[in-house]
């Protein structure tokens, strides 16, 4: 496919500065050609903060209809099918996990007041083709310590589906500027699922989400774990290092630092359904993987997958009710 690129390195031949902390002390970790875009991509790591990033960056036109149909740089997931009928896909396990985590959080005393009269405002940042939005809309309410509180899903994305989710399906879809212009603290729950690795500067996203989160609210964030056993073993050849789209790669330690700088408190969530989904998704790349599907229902196998990929080790975040809480 054709592609256009944005260089962050200034003049050709010069090494870029760190896109996170702006340090000039960066190290070239290696280069590899894209699997879906025929170009060479270089992986740089900051010696100051540890951030691993890709240069050049593929422009946003890569997130077209083919991408959401699983015919482009993320062929393991068909986001369009997930939206059409999520119950027929493994993604439902991940959606169930997020709802479980949100409900558990909202049951905590003194976190945030929700009720039948006061809905749970839920932002799915990077909503893609809208699968989670549809799941939440169909769910209608969340059980918050015995109270059924209506859930109001809101989405944000820049891909080809954003306009049609607003126009054809009636979802509230907000762009970057609209989020910044909203009063701060609108959302009780924010999900940012496999998004932050797609943006050139993760700090800009963390800063915006921290502002958008209500005091007492929960940010559920997932991304690849650069410190997991597989990543340590394989380096830039780790399967998550897809340079056409995964341009910003983090460790749990660095993500915790970003949270704290944004006024958030890191929390570790224990996933199950989300890991089961990833396990089943990755089986699709293995010949004969369909015969192993039953292993996804075997808790020790899910625990092993969690350790190998470091899913639960990636921290999410809680916004304190006050700076001293």
Q: Cβ–Cβ contacts within 10 Å for residue 140, how many?
A: 9
> Side-chain half-sphere of 302: how many Cα atoms within 13 Å?
17
Half-sphere exposure (Cβ direction) of 30: Cα atoms closer than 13 Å: 10
Give percent of the chain above pLDDT 90.
Answer: 61
Which pLDDT belongs to residue 220? 98
Domain 5-318 has CATH 3.30.465.10: no
Q: What is the band of 97 on the pLDDT scale with cuts at 50, 70, 90?
A: very high
pLDDT of residue 116: 60
Q: So what's the pLDDT on residue 161? A: 82
Least confident of 210-214, 222-226, 300-304: 300-304
189-216 per-position pLDDT tens digit? 999 999 999 999 999 999 999 999 999 9
Residue 239 sits at φ, ψ, to 5 deg, of -55, -25
pLDDT given for residue 324 in this prediction: 45
Rounded mean pLDDT, 282-296: 60
Confidence band, pLDDT 50/70/90 cuts, at residue 28: very high
Neighbours of 269 (CB within 10 A): 21
Residue 236 has pLDDT above 80, yes or no: yes
pLDDT tens for 109-129 read: 767 666 667 889 999 999 988
For the chain, the average pLDDT equals 87
Residues contacting residue 190 through CB under 8 Å, at least 6 positions apart? 122, 123, 124, 125, 209, 212, 213, 217, 218, 219, 220
Q: Provide the pLDDT confidence category of residue 302 given band limits of 50, 70 and 90.
A: confident
Q: Where do the structural domains in the chain lie, given as residue ranges?
A: 5-318
Asked whether 8 and 33 are in contact (CB, 8 A), the reply is no
């Amino acid at each position: 496919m054709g592609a256009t690129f944005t260089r962050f390195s200034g003049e050709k031949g010069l090494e870029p500065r760190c896109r996170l902390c702006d340090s000039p002390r960066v190290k070239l970790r290696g280069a590899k050609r894209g699997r879906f875009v025929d170009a060479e991509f270089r992986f740089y790591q900051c010696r100051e903060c540890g951030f691993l990033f890709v240069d050049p960056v593929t422009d946003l036109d890569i997130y077209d209809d083919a991408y959401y149909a699983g015919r482009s740089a993320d062929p393991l997931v068909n986001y369009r099918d997930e939206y059409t009928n999520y119950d027929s896909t493994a993604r439902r396990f991940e959606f169930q996990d997020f709802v479980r985590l949100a409900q558990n959080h909202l049951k905590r005393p003194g976190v945030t007041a929700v009720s039948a009269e006061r809905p749970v405002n839920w932002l799915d940042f990077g909503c893609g083709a809208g699968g989670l939005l549809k799941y939440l809309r169909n769910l209608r309410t969340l059980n918050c310590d015995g109270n059924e509180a209506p859930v109001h899903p809101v989405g944000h994305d820049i891909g080809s589906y954003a306009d049609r989710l607003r126009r054809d399906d009636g979802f509230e879809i907000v762009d970057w500027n609209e989020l910044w212009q909203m009063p701060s603290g609108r959302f009780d729950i924010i999900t940012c699922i496999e998004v932050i690795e797609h943006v050139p500067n993760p700090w800009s996203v963390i800063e915006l989400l921290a502002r958008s989160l209500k005091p007492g609210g929960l940010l559920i964030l997932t991304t690849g774990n650069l410190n997991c056993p597989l990543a340590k073993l394989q380096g830039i050849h780790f399967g998550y290092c897809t340079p056409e789209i995964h341009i910003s790669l983090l460790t749990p330690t660095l993500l915790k630092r970003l949270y704290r700088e944004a006024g958030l408190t890191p929390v570790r969530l224990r996933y199950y359904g989300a890991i089961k989904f990833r396990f089943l998704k990755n089986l699709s790349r293995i010949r004969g993987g369909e015969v192993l599907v039953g292993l996804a229902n075997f808790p020790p196998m899910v625990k092993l997958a969690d350790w190998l990929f470091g899913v639960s080790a990636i921290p999410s975040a809680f916004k304190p009710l006050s700076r001293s809480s």
